[in-house]
Structure 1
Amino acid sequence: MKWSEISIHTTNEAIEPISNILHEAGASGVVIEDPADLVKEREDQFGEIYQLNPDDYPEEGVIVKAYLPVNSFLGETVDAIKEAINNLIIHNIDIGLNEVTISEVNEEEWATAWKKYYNPVKISEKFTIVPTWEDYTPVNSDELIIELDPGMAFGTGTHPTTVMCIQALERTVKQGDRVVDVGTGSGVLSIAAALLGADQVQALDLDEIAVKSARLNIKLNKVQERCTVSQNNLLDGIREDADVVVANILAEVILRFTDDVSRVVKRGGYFIASGIIAQKKQQVREAIIDAGFEIEETIHMEDWVAIIAKRR
């Protein structure tokens, strides 16, 4: 399939309404190229390197891009987008230069272009995540390497919620532990637990595609003898005791199964909960405490929170 890239040179003020217009026109997402990103300060506690090319950004204003399938209705769709953007002026929204350009993108090129922005990243004291297509030499002998081929569906393993989970696993997983990873996605947390010495790791996800992705990445990292992957709804049907349960999912979902976590985690074992936006922190903390846990540590990164709790 061929895709058409529509690019609108506009203003910061118009980003949100133009993004809405593009979504309504059928775009599943937008790309925003804002020159302010070139000077934005980012945390680099573990030596992450952010590579941005100034040539990709406008000198003034912002560029909003979206991708639409090339079909017989494309011309009408683009005309409707242009008209809707022009109508923003009626609502006193500054649309700036409002330069709209269209270019064709081959699907294969579009599906792989993102890889150039994904490089080895040290995400904690011990772990570095390395894409499968990169050559990487460990900096020191005790560095743990996770090779990941995330595809476009389950991320690169460097999102703050994932990073905090891996840091929490470093503090809680011991040799011979049994770990349950709820909502495994790419399988990165299960791989980390195995590399930290866990003897049995059970990776669970309701999404069939996630299950396949996790199995591939687990095999890639040669920990398949200690990791099993199953399609499962949260902890339904899980009976074995676990030393650690880790869940990097939405706060709303965590609230639904804290009692199940308490049932599965051994006394003195740990529950690592992440994927929690800051506004939901207190609500999740209270639910975890009510389920029989003590909060040992709360980790913050950007607008996200992870909680390490120990079962009383």
Structure 2
Amino acid sequence: MKNFIEVIIRTQPFLPELISGLACMFTTITGIEERENEIVCFFTEFSDEDLDYLRKLLENLKKESLIERFEIYIETIEQRNWNEEWEKSIQPIKVTDRIVIKPSFREYIPQNDEIIITIDPKMSFGTGFHQSTRIMIRLIERNIKPDIKVLDVGTGTGILAIVCAKLGASKIVTCDNDEFVQDNVLENFEKNNCKDKCSFVYGTIDEITENDFDLILANIQKNVLIEIAEKIKAKSKPDGIIILSGLLLEDEKEICEKYSSLKFKLIETAIEDEWLGLVFRNM
């Protein structure tokens, strides 16, 4: 049986929603469990670099006087679906005036012209609860055009691809290198009646053979966004739009410098709490 890495985070004061949000930014996370005075996160892999990044995120909370101190404990454990109980607590969330995200096991009656997106996260990231996901959805809504071709890098549950399909995109290609994603994302495409528009490729952006995307989405942590910047450039059509998040406010300078060096022009920013979204145009 495959082993997982258990990372326990304790903070004073205990801020479970904030700490869970930080943990969700790691691409190898498979589940989160809230216990008394601690958040327990489960990872397929958790490197020394990941630990350093987690410490940096928590140190930032100290600098902002949101927490006084923190503790991190790491242990190797046997596989289990740690998300099962957490999923049961998910409620519908209104992300914008038009877009509502809900799990399949919750009823929601749409009002006026609301767009209802049904997402069951299983072991994937992207439910609408994290600030960066909400930022991405708002920026997509403001920047999408009808009948465009979209690439969603690190799709997770497929939520951003589904939003694009509902808002009029004609073709959305998605990819993710998380082994738990494929069945979940295809199931979510089916539930939202957009499997004719949305496709999934298991792997990274390197496995995407198409180019000339009108819109590219990437809600991934800063280090990955910097690493794949040239590849995003190669996939973007001239005058194409890219929307990036998974970023903290302090990441803006480094990301802007990298993407500006590739002839992307920053045209819009969005902020929620300490999280940042950036929109660039390929010049």
Task: Return the TM-score normalized by structure 2.
Answer: 0.72
2: CA distance, partners of 1:66 / 1:204: 29
CA shift at 1:192, angstroms?
A: 0.5
Superposed CA deviations along residues 143-189 of structure 1, whole A, max 9, x for unmatched, are 11110111244252221111111111111211100000000011001
CA shift at 1:27, angstroms?
A: 8.1
Which structure has the larger Rg over C-alpha atoms?
Answer: 1
Give me the identity figure in percent: 28
Change (3 A) 1:242 1:30: same
Matched, 1:309 2:280: yes
Matched, 1:205 2:176: yes
2: CA distance, partners of 1:232 / 1:217: 18
One-letter amino acid of the counterpart of residue 213, structure 1: N
One-letter amino acid of the counterpart of residue 202, structure 2: Q
Q: Partner of 1:113 in structure 2?
A: 85
1: CA distance, partners of 2:95 / 2:9: 25
Superposed CA deviations along residues 223-248 of structure 1, whole A, max 9, x for unmatched, are 00000001121244433211000000
One-letter amino acid of the counterpart of residue 275, structure 2: W
Among 142, 148, 153, the alignment partner of 2:119 is 148
1: CA distance, partners of 2:6 / 2:163: 32
Paired residue secondary structure (1:244) = strand
Q: Partner of 2:134 in structure 1?
A: 163
1: CA distance, partners of 2:6 / 2:189: 30
CA shift at 1:273, angstroms?
A: 0.7
More off after superposition, 226-235 vs 111-120: 111-120
1: CA distance, partners of 2:37 / 2:212: 49
Among 82, 107, 111, the alignment partner of 1:135 is 107
Q: Partner of 1:101 in structure 2?
A: none
Among 232, 235, 240, the alignment partner of 1:264 is 235
Among 240, 243, 247, the alignment partner of 2:218 is 247
More off after superposition, 148-157 vs 248-257: 148-157
One-letter amino acid of the counterpart of residue 257, structure 1: I
- Where do residues 1-312 of structure 1 align in structure 2 (5 Å cutoff)? 28-30=6-8, 63-64=36-37, 112-140=84-112, 142-312=113-283
Change (3 A) 1:34 1:216: farther
The answer to whether the 8 A contact 1:194-1:223 is kept is yes
Paired residue secondary structure (2:204) = coil
Change (3 A) 1:237 1:137: closer
Change (3 A) 1:221 1:64: same
2: CA distance, partners of 1:274 / 1:221: 24
CA shift at 1:31, angstroms?
A: 7.8
Q: Any stretches of 5+ residues in structure 2 without a counterpart?
A: 19-33, 41-79
2: CA distance, partners of 1:169 / 1:146: 14
Change (3 A) 1:115 1:255: closer
Paired residue secondary structure (1:28) = strand
Paired residue secondary structure (1:281) = helix
CA shift at 1:303, angstroms?
A: 1.3
CA shift at 1:212, angstroms?
A: 2.0
Change (3 A) 1:153 1:184: closer
One-letter amino acid of the counterpart of residue 139, structure 1: Q
The answer to whether the 8 A contact 2:127-2:159 is kept is no
Superposed CA deviations along residues 27-59 of structure 1, whole A, max 9, x for unmatched, are 824487989869x9xxxxxxxxxxxxxxx99xx
CA shift at 1:296, angstroms?
A: 0.4
Change (3 A) 1:254 1:66: closer
Q: Any stretches of 5+ residues in structure 1 without a counterpart?
A: 1-25, 41-55, 58-62, 68-106
| Count of residue pairs brought into register by the alignment | 225
CA shift at 1:208, angstroms?
A: 2.5
Cα RMSD over matched residues?
2.8
One-letter amino acid of the counterpart of residue 173, structure 2: Q
Task: Return the TM-score normalized by structure 1.
Answer: 0.65
Change (3 A) 1:241 1:37: closer
2: CA distance, partners of 1:35 / 1:233: 38
Superposed CA deviations along residues 71-103 of structure 1, whole A, max 9, x for unmatched, are xxxxxxxxxxxxxxxxxxxxxxxxxxxxxxxxx
